[in-house]
Structure 1
Amino acid sequence: MSESSQFPLLLSYYGDDFTGSADVMEALESYGVATALFLDSPSKETVAKFRFIGPRKTSETRIQSFGVAGISRTMSPSQMAVELPSVFSQIASVESQYFHYKICSTFDSSPSLGNIGTATDLAMEVFHSRNVPLVVGAPSLGRFCVFGNLFARVEQKVFRLDRHPTMARHPVTPMGESDLREHLAILSERKVLHMDISKVEGVIEGDTLKEDPPEEGQFLLFDILEDRHLRAVGKWICEKRGSSTQVVVGSSGVEYAICGHLSEVGELKKSDAFCSEPAELLIVLAGSASPGTAAQIEHAIGLGFVDLRINTAALVVPETRDEEIGRCVEEAYREVEAGRSPLLYAAKGPEDPAIGETARVFSERSLEGRAGELIAKYQGEILMRLLSRAGRQRVLVAGGDTSGFATKALGITALEILCPLAPGAPLCLGHSEDDATHGLEICLKGGQNGNHRFIESVLKGRLLA
């Protein structure tokens, strides 16, 4: 790449949750950018020494981009202020052209939790960009930003975000406002310059933006309806980047924008599609209560996956926790030994009575922490204990928090992509100092990723329509 003499890497990023971090890796790899995803901030030496183990790369392949799978979506602003500066500084020690603070494509954020404004402020203290492009739309993921409002597709229907069946009643960050300018106003004091669809079309036609130069530190919110708009935004970002690392905030639309433009000008090349071999069986651990994951669970059970519900109310109570973990591990191990695929899940959709029952128990016991976080933590322990008995098997984990805890429990330090499946949910290879999990085939998906056949797709190693 033409600018790589000053910056050894194209891009570094921090994902505000685990599954979203894998989404970015997939986007970069789709353009041939060799990418590793670390669970903790790597040192400069770690990045330099990293070697890929997948079949599509050689031992000589070097990292061109890397990310850190974070958990800032679950942090308060005060927690961010403690945790993020050192993480960002460590990332900045490895020079790159762009630093991407990766957020969910449904803009999960509130003033008190996962505050995008606070995270941006902390990133800007380290990277010192003149302004902050904000790229949320990602048409390949069914996310569209039009006249400042965010829309998301569910199956074949597109919803404005404040009417989205999941996000409008999200248990942690419900979205009551689809206009991102209005939502940002309660998260940050930074001004927002809106690049509406007509201005983005103008970039495609070769026009330059007629507005005064953006004020220092402003958000630049781009409308995106189609992939060609993404490439136009990527052109704008690449051409306007200064001499230092450029901070960009947004979904994986950031990578599709930048890489899409670099592909158009011949600096990158789109990768050919590739698949993995099918697995004999698949261990599924689902922590998401989204309608999409519920449909996937039902479809998989109909195919013969073994229905193993986790009693989440027992899991959050210290006196019953060990017994419930033991029961889940024993029943799942028995199915693996018989050559069947166990499907361990916490709930089937947002209306599952188990959610209310668990919340009631949690409240009555005045337990510390968040129920969802506790459940995800001990689901990770269930998976760790199961694999220690069953050996290395292909694994699918559904849910951002669950994915983070599961990989930590397994001692995985980094991930590389094995093959793409649904957008934002690739099948990966785990890197670990433990031989038992080094090379583990694992897919980490957000609750809303994938069609109803997604679990079946992971088993087969290729996307099924």
Structure 2
Amino acid sequence: MTERAKDGLDDGLLLAYYGDDFTGSTDAMEAMTAAGVPTVLCLDTPTPDLLTRFPDVRCVGLAGSSRGRSPAWMRDALPAAFASLAAFGAPLLQYKVCSTFDSSPELGSIGAAIDIGVKTMPGHWSPMVIGAPRLKRYQMFGNLFAAVDGVGYRLDRHPTMSRHPATPMDEADLRVHLGRQTTRRIELVDMLQLRAGKGAARVRTLGAANAAESPVVMIDVLDEETLVEAGRLVWEERGAGLFSASSSGLQYALAAYWRSRGWLPARASLPIAQPVGQIAAVSGSCSPVTATQIAWARANGFCVVRLDLPRALDARTASGEIQRAVEVAAAAVRRGDSVIVHSAEGPDDPAVQTFDAIARDAGLPRTDAARNVGGALAEVLRQLLDCVELQRVVVAGGDSSGEVASRLGIDALSVIAGLAPGAPLCRALSKSPRRDGLEIVLKGGQIGGDAFFGAAKAGRAI
């Protein structure tokens, strides 16, 4: 620790973060771990006693569910969560958001989270790094782009995010999009300013002029050069401590800068996962990427089980529908097959297109119905793990991941191997002997190639 401190990295924790969903939380953990920064992700408020299990930890995360919550919920829940993380003394406190900026004024408001979080840290500016080239996310002049199958899209024309069922993206300029969620001043350090070395001067000017309101300062990231410069700007201008609402682009940027200074290993890497004979997966994702992955699994010998949403959301039939899915899945596992239980296959799935009517018939608000889908899938996996022996499981979909991890009684996660960028293989820490050591992958809807479920079983890309 002493040598690192002399080299420029603070002694102790370097970063603490709250993830707005579980898949994004593991994405951030993977980025730090791969860079050589030991990281642990807690599923409940981290305590000093828990962290003694990880004596070398330099980054700690807390997985949350705020991406699917209202600003009122955030005002109730986030102050205590941010305070618990800030108490560990890391110079950077992050509200980790999705790299596709999933949010709206009513749901998952990043602006509301920023207004709460800036009060926790003493800094006079609040950096925002969203671009993450490794994840095919790019920010240029404040506008966010994402690539799919080698084709880049402005986010408001993205084939999935422009049609997202909960938070459709109708504006790619993040200053405009975030401006709908907060009255806080929003500024930009663009790629030209970064490359010209003018970022620090601009930040100091903005901070001096607007110290009382801690303006949000977005930082363009397009490529490795701007990634390093973004990391340099945040780290060198951290002062007494900063709050940052950022994607895992912040982790990648910091690691890139630290690596450029020789403070981290020259090459980022993770161990290769070992293969297993079979896996079980549950998916609540509506993404076309996940739909293609489910189709691949079906064509390659996986048992694929659809959860009947009208039955799963009706209080009178929910337990019976869950039991049916568990029985089919358990039978598949016992005969040696891998299995996926899912609620939809892509945005055009009839279950997605008619979801409002399904929720209405169940007597549920749409947001509660969506959360109950994740709860039903979580219960399927919990019961399945109680009746069959499985070493490795996969959860697809951010909201589903949160429900599943919570119901399994997992206290914390650490990365044990890489699979696909943003979806590492993790090991669970749990007080339950049956859950402790379980291998689990939490996969966002947009993450991974067609054969992702096969890769999760094989432990490598196939």
Q: How many angstroms does 1:208 deviate by? A: 5.5
CA distance in 1, matches of 2:444, 2:362: 30
Find the partner of 2:294 among 290, 293, 297: 297
Are the equivalent residues in 2 in contact too, given 1:74–1:114 (CA < 8 A)? yes
Task: Give the 3 Å change call, closer, same or farther, for CA 397–6 of structure 1 in structure 2.
Answer: closer
Q: Deviation of residue 271 (structure 1)?
A: 3.6
Q: Which residue of 2 aligns with 1:146?
A: 140
Give the residue type in structure 2 aligned to 1:287.
G
Aligned match for 1:325, one of 322, 340, 347: 322
Cα distance 1:246–1:207, how it changes in 2: closer, same or farther (>3 A)? closer
1:202 Cα deviation from its structure 2 partner: 1.2
What is the aligned partner in structure 2 of residue 14 from structure 1?
Answer: 18
3-state DSSP class of the match of 1:127? coil
1:374 shift after superposition = 0.6
Correspondence for 1:46:
50
C-alpha distance in structure 1 between counterparts of 2:335 and 2:415, whole Å: 29
- Does 2:75 align with 1:81? yes
State the match for 2:88 in structure 1: 94
Pair 1:137 & 2:131 matched: yes
Q: What aligned pairs does 1:441-456 form with structure 2 within 5 A after superposition?
A: 441-456=439-454
1:359: how far off? 2.9
CA separation of 1:365 and 1:407: change in aligned 2, threshold 3 A: closer
In the TM superposition, residue 17 of structure 1 has moved relative to its aligned partner by 0.6
Distance 1:33 1:435, change over 3 A: same
Once residues 286 and 164 of structure 1 are traced to their aligned partners in structure 2, the CA distance between those partners, rounded to angstroms, is 22
Give the direction of change, closer, same or farther, for the CA distance of 1:5–1:398 in structure 2 (3 Å limit): closer
| Separation of aligned partners in 2, 1:72 and 1:394 | 27
Does the aligned pair in 1 maintain the 2:120–2:243 contact within 8 Å?
no
Aligned partner (choices 192, 195, 198) of residue 201 of structure 1: 195
Q: In structure 2, the residue corresponding to 1:113 is in which secondary structure?
A: coil
| Corresponding letter in the other structure for 1:77 | P
- 8 Å contact kept, 1:7–1:95: no
**One-letter amino acid of the structure 1 residue matched with residue 426 of structure 2:** C
| Structure 1 segment 252-331 matched on structure 2, within 5 A | 252-269=248-265, 270-331=267-328
Deviation string 1:342-375 (CA, Å, 9 cap, x unpaired) is 1111111100112234431321342255221110
Cα distance in 2 between the residues matched to 1:95 and 1:420: 29
User: SS where residue 221 of structure 1 aligns?
Assistant: strand
How far 1:199 moved relative to its partner? Answer: 0.6
Letter in 2 for 1:262: W
Per the alignment, do residues 390 and 210 of structure 1 end up closer, same or farther by CA in structure 2, a change over 3 Å counting? closer
CA distance in 2, matches of 1:427, 1:313: 33
Residue 176 of structure 1 corresponds to which residue in structure 2? 170
- Asked if structure 1 preserves the Cα contact closer than 8 Å seen for 2:270 and 2:416, the reply is no
Cα distance in 2 for partners of 1:404, 1:181 equals 29
CA distance in 2 between counterparts of 1:26 and 1:386 reads 27
| 2:180 equivalent in structure 1 | 186
Instruction: Give distance in 1, aligned partners of 2:203 and 2:425.
Output: 43
- Alpha-carbon distance in 2 for matches of 1:96, 1:7: 9
Contact 2:278 2:457 in 1 (8 A): yes
CA distance in 2, matches of 1:153, 1:342: 29
Pick one of 192, 205, 225 that aligns with 1:213. 205
Count of residue correspondences:
451
Question: What whole-Å deviation, never above 9, does each CA across 1:287-346 have from its counterpart, x for those lacking one?
Answer: 101000000001111110012111111100011111101100000000100000111111
Q: Per the alignment, do residues 38 and 338 of structure 1 end up closer, same or farther by CA in structure 2, a change over 3 Å counting?
A: same
Q: TM-score w.r.t. structure 1 length? A: 0.94
Return the letter of the residue paired with 1:267.
W
2:117 maps to a residue whose letter is A
Q: In structure 2, what is the Cα distance between the partners aligned to 1:304 and 1:290?
A: 22
* Structure 1 residue matching 2:412: 3-state secondary structure: strand
CA distance in 2 between partners of 1:43 and 1:245 (Å): 21
Q: Distance in 1 between matches of 2:46 and 2:352?
A: 37
TM-score, scaled relative to structure 2: 0.94
Q: Residue 411 of structure 2: SS of its match in structure 1? A: strand
Sort the Cα spacing of 1:230 and 1:5 in 2 relative to 1 into closer, same or farther, 3 A.
closer
Query: Offset at 1:245?
Result: 2.3
The Cα of 1:117 is off from its aligned counterpart by 1.2
Structure 1 residues 207 and 381, CA gap change in structure 2 (3 angstroms) = closer
1:56 matched residue in structure 2: none
Q: In structure 1, what is the Cα distance between the partners aligned to 2:362 and 2:57?
A: 48
One-letter amino acid matched to 1:238: W
Structure 1 position 124, deviation (Å): 1.2
Contact 1:31 1:268 (C-alpha < 8 Å) held by counterparts: yes
Do 1:391 and 1:436's aligned partners in 2 also have CA atoms closer than 8 Å? Answer: no
Choose which of 353, 358, 361 in structure 2 pairs with 1:361. 358
Q: Distance in 2 between matches of 1:359 and 1:247?
A: 37
Match of 2:419 among 410, 418, 421: 421
Q: Deviations over 1:186-215 (max 9, x none)?
A: 111111221111111112xx8864676113
1:273 Cα offset (Å): 4.2
Q: What amino acid is aligned across from residue 427 of structure 1 in structure 2? A: L
CA distance in 2, matches of 1:22, 1:237: 22
Amino acid at match of 1:419: A
The DSSP-based 3-state class of the residue aligned with 1:457 is helix
Provide the aligned C-alpha RMSD in A.
1.6
Amino acid corresponding to residue 141 of structure 1 in structure 2: L
Query: Counterpart of 1:177 in 2: which secondary structure?
Result: coil
Asked if structure 2 preserves the Cα contact closer than 8 Å seen for 1:428 and 1:441, the reply is: yes
Tell me if structure 2 keeps the 8 A contact 1:377–1:406.
yes
Distance 1:333 1:194 in 2: 52
Using the alignment, how far apart are the partners of 1:231 and 1:320 within structure 2?
A: 54
Task: Answer whether contact 2:309 2:358 (CA < 8 A) is retained.
Answer: no
Q: The residue matched to 1:73 in structure 2 has which SS?
A: helix
- Give the corresponding residue for 1:54: none
**How far apart are the structure 2 equivalents of 1:321 and 1:44?**
40
Contact 1:283 1:393 in 2 (8 A): no
Offset at residue 224 of structure 1 (A): 1.1
**Contact 2:310 / 2:362 at 8 angstroms: preserved in 1?**
no
Contact 1:425 1:446 in 2 (8 A): yes
Q: C-alpha offsets along residues 380-413 of structure 1, whole Å, 9 cap, x if unaligned?
A: 0110000000023310110011111111111011
- Gaps of at least 5 residues in structure 1 are 52-60
For 1:337, the equivalent position in structure 2 comes to 334
Unpaired stretches in structure 2, ≥5 consecutive residues? none
Identical aligned residues as a percent = 38
Whether the 8 Å contact between 2:189 and 2:202 is mirrored in structure 1 is: no
